[in-house]
Chains A and B, each alone.
Chain A
Amino acid sequence: MTAVTSMTREQKKELGRIKRRSWLISYAMILPAIVFLIAFVIYPTISMFIMSLYFGNAMNPYKRFQWFKNYSVRPDFWVALRNTAEYTGMALVLVMVLSILFAQWMYKSRKLNNVAQTVFFTPHLVAGVSAGFIWSWLMSSQPYGLFNTVFNALGLSSVRWLDDSSTAMFSIVLMNTWKSVGYYCLIIMSAMKSIPTEIYESARLDGSSSIKTFFKITIPMISPQLFFLLITITTGSFKVFDSVRIMTGGGPGDATRVLSMYIYDYAFERNNTLGYACAAGILMMLMMVAVTVFDFGFVEKKVHYQ
Chain B
Amino acid sequence: MAEIVFEKVGKSFGSTKVIENLDLTIEDGKFTVLVGSSGCGKTTLLRMIAGIGPATSGRILMDGKDITHQPPEKRDIAMVFQNYAIYPTMSVRENIEFGLKNKKVPKEERDRRIAEYAEIVGMTPYLDRKPSDLSGGQRQRIALARAMVKKPSVFLMDEPLSNLDAKLRAAMRVELIELQRRLGTTFVYVTHDQIEAMSMADTIVLMEKGQIQQIGSPEEIYHEPANIFSAQFIGTPPMNVLDLDGGVRFGVRPESIRMSAERMDGMALYRRGHVITREMLGAELQYKVRLSDGKTLMVRSENDRDDVEESADVWVMAPARHLHFFDADGRHIGHGGPEDLLKKVGGINE
- Direct contact between A and B judged by beta carbons closer than 8 A: yes
Contacts from A to B (Cβ < 8 Å): 196, 198-199, 201-209, 212, 216-217, 220-221, 223, 304, 306
B50 contact set on A, CB distance < 8 A: 201, 205
Our pick among B79, B81, B102 for the contact of A207 (Cβ within 8 Å) is B102
Q: Mark B61-102, 1 if CB is under 8 A from A, else 0.
A: 000000000001100011101110101111000000011001
A201 touches B52 (CB 8 A): yes
B67 → A minimal CB distance (Å): 14
B87 touches A204 (CB 8 A): no
- A-B interface contact total, Cβ < 8 Å: 61
A204 contact set on B, CB distance < 8 A: 52, 72-73
A208 touches B89 (CB 8 A): no
B78 touches A205 (CB 8 A): yes
Contacts from B to A (Cβ < 8 Å): 50, 52, 72-73, 77-79, 81-83, 85, 87-90, 98-99, 102-103, 132, 146, 150
Our pick among A201, A207, A208, A306 for the contact of B132 (Cβ within 8 Å) is A306
A202 contact set on B, CB distance < 8 A: 79, 81, 85, 87
Query: How far does the alpha carbon of A287 sit from the alpha carbon of B232 in the complex, in Å?
Result: 73
**Sample of 7 more A-B contacts, CB < 8 Å, known A198-B82, A204-B73, A205-B77:** A199-B85, A201-B50, A201-B79, A202-B87, A206-B73, A206-B98, A221-B88
Known: A204-B72, A204-B73, A205-B78. A198 touches B99 (CB 8 A): no
Query: How far does the alpha carbon of A220 sit from the alpha carbon of B79 in the complex, in Å?
Result: 23
A196 touches B83 (CB 8 A): yes
B81 contact set on A, CB distance < 8 A: 198, 201-202
Closest 6 CB pairs of A and B: A206-B99, A220-B89, A207-B102, A304-B89, A198-B85, A202-B85
B87 contact set on A, CB distance < 8 A: 199, 202-203, 216-217
Known: A198-B81, A201-B81. A207 touches B89 (CB 8 A): no
Our pick among A198, A207, A216, A306 for the contact of B83 (Cβ within 8 Å) is A198
B83 contact set on A, CB distance < 8 A: 196, 198
A199 contact set on B, CB distance < 8 A: 85, 87
Query: How far does the alpha carbon of A223 sit from the alpha carbon of B103 in the complex, in Å?
Result: 27
Known: A198-B81, A199-B87, A217-B87. A205 touches B132 (CB 8 A): no
Query: How far does the alpha carbon of A217 sit from the alpha carbon of B95 in the complex, in Å?
Result: 11
A209 contact set on B, CB distance < 8 A: 102
Query: How far does the alpha carbon of A140 sit from the alpha carbon of B90 in the complex, in Å?
Result: 51
Query: How far does the alpha carbon of A202 sit from the alpha carbon of B88 in the complex, in Å?
Result: 13
A201 touches B85 (CB 8 A): yes
Query: How far does the alpha carbon of A207 sit from the alpha carbon of B101 in the complex, in Å?
Result: 9
Query: How far does the alpha carbon of A213 sit from the alpha carbon of B52 in the complex, in Å?
Result: 16
B79 contact set on A, CB distance < 8 A: 201-202, 205
28 A-B pairs, CB-CB below 8 angstroms?
Answer: A196-B85, A198-B83, A199-B87, A201-B50, A201-B72, A201-B81, A201-B85, A204-B72, A205-B77, A205-B78, A205-B99, A206-B98, A207-B73, A207-B102, A207-B103, A208-B73, A208-B102, A209-B102, A212-B102, A216-B87, A216-B98, A217-B89, A220-B89, A221-B88, A221-B89, A223-B89, A304-B88, A306-B89
A158 → B minimal CB distance (Å): 47
Question: Smallest CB-CB separation from A223: which chain B residue?
Answer: B89
Query: How far does the alpha carbon of A231 sit from the alpha carbon of B87 in the complex, in Å?
Result: 26
Known: A196-B83, A212-B102, A306-B132. A205 touches B89 (CB 8 A): no
B89 contact set on A, CB distance < 8 A: 217, 220-221, 223, 304, 306
Query: How far does the alpha carbon of A94 sit from the alpha carbon of B42 in the complex, in Å?
Result: 47
A301 → B minimal CB distance (Å): 13
Question: Smallest CB-CB separation from B147: which chain A residue?
Answer: A205
Question: Smallest CB-CB separation from A306: which chain B residue?
Answer: B88
* Chain B CB within 10 Å, residue with most, of A198, A203, A207, A212: A207
Our pick among A205, A217, A220 for the contact of B52 (Cβ within 8 Å) is A205
